[in-house]
């Protein structure tokens, strides 16, 4: 009788877990449908065009394709793996394909975070609850760009590091070179992962040296791995990142990006947290909870403490890097592993199949209610980007070159390829000088009359709300040829 009762209770618990996972996936998916970030984010379009270029040319760009102001400048498509996938999604299913690609990528991030927390803690409901908090803190701050692959691969890296430290087996780290081989061909933030692996190896070495000279404090947890094995793994990871079309040149690109300053002024997501939004307080709450979790233990783990400090510095510097502190903090909070008796049985393949099937059915049922259709996405795009203005220029072509709004550059690369853009979201291509010049001109700073890019332009396409658009109405060098609720188009008076 007791056995039958236990089996019934166990089956109910498994069913409840399946329902919780379905709710997690469907909740994330519906939010993707509702926000439509996969087609509304300005950077998605130039990523799509770069992917198309790679597929069509069967090579990789090394200069500023699609731009007339930076055509000869060196540039690397360091997210080429992501861009090819996005390109194929659009080629097969048009705007809906872009939306599905972004939705699946966002769900993959959600599941990667849950899996990491479950592996670290062994507690299903702790992992589930923490995951929901993490999603609310950062998941919909930005669109599903290449950084989402960085989040997924970072969760794998962090899980392997935590497991190696817990078990004392360096063999757990042998998967890392493969992770970094993939990561370096998808997103430049593989540098973050390498830094964390380097921090892990460095802290372990310092602890080993402290133990050898008998100066290791008792309040710190002892080192778990040999002194130099993690460095061997780190070296293999670095070598793995050099396998790709851009090889070791990626490191120079990362250095160039790190030196940029003006983009932190003009791009909102790269600015420091303002605490105007609820999710930023959740980010702070996760960080505080992680510091508390470290201090709660009998022995402080120096690697986790150092990692948390690094993540805090990076994440609170820019809104876009909120994922870094959120993932690290959640992993630290979850690092109170359950005993073997407390650990639940992992979900079998049949269980995941049920979750996938049920989630797919429920998401499909919500497609129309969220207007996540070809028509709905087309309406959303037309409300955000100058579709009508571009169509006007197609019917009434004007000689270039083009001067365009910064936020529309990526879309114009895709939708109006006959006019190479003057600027787009690839801030590393244009450099601080040109980016700052654009920012000043866009705001109609008096110096705009001497802007060489504007002075050479034959056609100007701007957001109607920009101060420059108002000033050009009175500028004798240009005449207004098109206006709607979103955009204005000027032609030069030659």
Average pLDDT over residues 189-204: 96
| Same domain flag for 258 and 171 | yes
pLDDT at 92 over 50: yes
What was the pLDDT predicted at 445? 84
Q: What is the pLDDT of residues 429-438, one digit of tens each?
A: 998 888 888 8
Residue 142 shares a structural domain with residue 257? yes
Q: In this structure, is residue 13 part of a structural domain?
A: no
Domain check: are 400 and 484 in the same one?
yes
State the average pLDDT for the chain.
Answer: 91
As a whole number of angstroms, the distance between CA 454 and CA 462 comes to 12
The pLDDT-based confidence of 263 (bands split at 50, 70, 90) is confident
Highest mean pLDDT among 94-108, 289-303, 304-318: 94-108
Is 4 a domain residue? no
pLDDT at 464 over 80: yes
The domain in which residue 30 lies consists of 19-364
Mean pLDDT computed over 7-35: 84
As for how many domains the chain has, the answer is 2
End-to-end CA distance of the chain: 94
**Whether residues 234 and 291 fall in one domain:** yes
Q: Do 394 and 301 sit in the same domain of this protein?
A: no
Please give the pLDDT value at position 342: 62
Average pLDDT, stretch 124-143? 93
Q: What is the pLDDT of residue 10?
A: 45
Assigned domain for 2 exists: no
Identify whether the C-beta of residue 404 lies closer than 8 Å to the C-beta of residue 430: no
Q: How confident is the model at residue 128 (pLDDT cuts 50, 70, 90)?
A: very high
Quote the CA–CA distance of 205 and 227 in Å, as a whole number. 5
Euclidean distance between CA atoms 334 and 198, whole angstroms:
22
Helix (H) or strand (E) holding 136: none
**pLDDT higher than threshold 50 for residue 7:** no
What pLDDT digit, counting tens, does each position of 312-351 carry? 988 888 878 899 999 999 999 999 877 666 666 777 888 8
Same domain, 159 and 106: yes
Q: Give pLDDT tens digits for 147-168.
A: 999 999 999 999 999 999 999 9
Are both 406 and 476 inside the same structural domain?
A: yes
Residue 130, in any domain of the structure: yes
Q: State whether 187 and 329 are in the same domain.
A: yes
Q: Does residue 9 carry a pLDDT above 60?
A: no
Q: Are residues 338 and 448 in the same domain?
A: no
Query: Are 264 and 404 contained in the same domain?
Result: no
With respect to residue 61, please indicate whether it lies within any of the assigned structural domains.
yes
Q: Per residue in 207-245, pLDDT tens?
A: 999 988 888 888 888 888 999 999 999 999 999 999 999
Contact 423, 404 (CB under 8 A): yes
Q: What are phi and psi of 144, to 5 degrees?
A: -75, 75
Look at residue 244 in the predicted model and tell me its pLDDT.
96
Strand order in the sheet with 402-404: 402-404, 459-463, 487-492, 478-483
> Does residue 6 lie in a domain region?
no
Structure tokens at 83: 């861009």
What are the structure tokens assigned to 20, written together?
Answer: 């919780």
**Tokens describing residue 89:** 């999604």
The predicted pLDDT at position 12 comes to 61
CB under 8 Å to 249, separation ≥6 — which residues? 76
DSSP code per residue over 158-183: HHHHHHHHHHT-GGGGGGHHHHHHHH
Of 8-12, 75-79, 80-84, 394-398, least confident by mean pLDDT is: 8-12
Q: Residue 220: in which H helix or E strand, if any?
A: none
pTM for the whole structure: 0.93
Q: How far from chain centre, in Å, is Cα 122?
A: 27
Confidence of residue 3 (pLDDT cuts 50, 70, 90): low
The model's pLDDT over 360-385, given as tens digits with 9 standing for 90+, comes to: 999 999 988 999 999 999 999 999 99
- Rounded-to-integer distance, Cα 170 and Cα 295, Å: 26
Please say which residue of 331, 364, 397 terminates a domain.
364
Tell me the pLDDT band of 261, cut-offs 50, 70 and 90.
confident
Same domain flag for 346 and 457: no
| Domain match, 274 and 139 both | yes
Give how far the C-alpha of residue 50 lies from the chain's centroid of Cα atoms, to the nearest Å: 17
Residue 129 inside a domain? The answer is yes
Q: Is residue 371 part of a domain?
A: no
HSE on the CB side for 297, CA within 13 Å?
21
Question: How many angstroms separate the CA atoms of 442 and 145, rounded?
Answer: 26
Does the pLDDT value for residue 122 go beyond 80? yes
């Amino acid at each position: 009788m007791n056995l039958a009762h236990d089996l019934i209770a166990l089956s109910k618990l498994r069913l409840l877990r399946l329902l919780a996972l379905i709710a997690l996936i469907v909740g994330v998916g519906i939010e993707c449908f509702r926000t439509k970030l996969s087609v509304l984010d300005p950077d998605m379009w130039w990523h799509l065009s770069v992917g198309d270029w790679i597929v069509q040319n069967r090579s990789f760009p090394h200069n500023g394709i699609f731009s007339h102001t930076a055509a000869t400048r060196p540039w690397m498509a360091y997210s080429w793996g992501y861009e090819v996938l996005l390109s194929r999604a659009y080629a097969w299913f048009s705007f809906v394909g872009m939306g599905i690609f972004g939705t699946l990528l966002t769900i993959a991030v959600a599941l990667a975070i849950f899996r990491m927390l479950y592996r670290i803690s062994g507690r299903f409901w702790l992992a589930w609850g923490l995951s929901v908090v993490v999603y609310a803190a950062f998941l919909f701050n930005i669109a599903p760009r290449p950084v989402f692959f960085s989040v997924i691969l970072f969760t794998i890296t962090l899980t392997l590091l935590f497991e190696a430290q817990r078990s004392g087996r360096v063999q757990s780290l042998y998967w890392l070179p493969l992770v970094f081989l993939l990561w370096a061909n998808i997103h430049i933030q593989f540098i973050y992962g390498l830094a964390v692996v380097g921090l892990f190896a460095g802290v372990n070495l310092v602890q080993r040296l402290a133990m050898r000279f008998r100066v290791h404090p008792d309040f710190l947890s002892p080192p778990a791995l040999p002194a130099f094995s993690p460095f061997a793994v780190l070296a293999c990871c670095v070598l793995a990142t050099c396998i790709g079309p851009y090889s070791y040149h990626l490191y120079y690109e990362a250095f160039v990006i790190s030196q940029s300053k003006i983009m932190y002024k003009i791009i909102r997501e790269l600015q420091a947290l303002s605490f105007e939004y609820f999710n930023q307080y959740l980010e702070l709450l996760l960080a505080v909870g992680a510091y508390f979790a470290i201090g709660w233990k009998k022995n402080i783990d120096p690697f986790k403490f150092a990692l948390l400090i690094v993540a805090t510095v990076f994440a609170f510097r820019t809104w876009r890097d909120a994922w870094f502190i959120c993932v690290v903090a959640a992993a630290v909070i979850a690092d109170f592993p359950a005993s073997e008796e407390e650990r639940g049985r992992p979900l079998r393949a049949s269980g995941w199949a049920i979750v996938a099937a049920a989630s797919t059915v429920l998401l499909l049922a919500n497609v129309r209610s969220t207007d996540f259709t070809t028509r709905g996405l087309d309406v959303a795009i037309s409300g955000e980007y100058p579709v009508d203005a571009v169509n006007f220029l197609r019917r009434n072509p004007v000689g270039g070159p083009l001067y365009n709004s910064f936020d529309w550059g990526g879309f114009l690369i895709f939708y109006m390829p006959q006019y190479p853009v003057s600027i787009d979201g690839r801030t590393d291509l244009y450099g601080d000088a040109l980016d700052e010049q654009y920012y000043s001109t866009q705001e109609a700073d008096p110096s705009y009359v001497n802007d060489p890019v504007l002075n050479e332009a034959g056609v100007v396409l701007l957001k109607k709300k920009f101060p420059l658009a108002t000033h050009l109405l009175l500028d004798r060098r240009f005449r207004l040829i098109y206006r709607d609720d979103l955009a204005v188009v000027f032609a030069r008076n030659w």
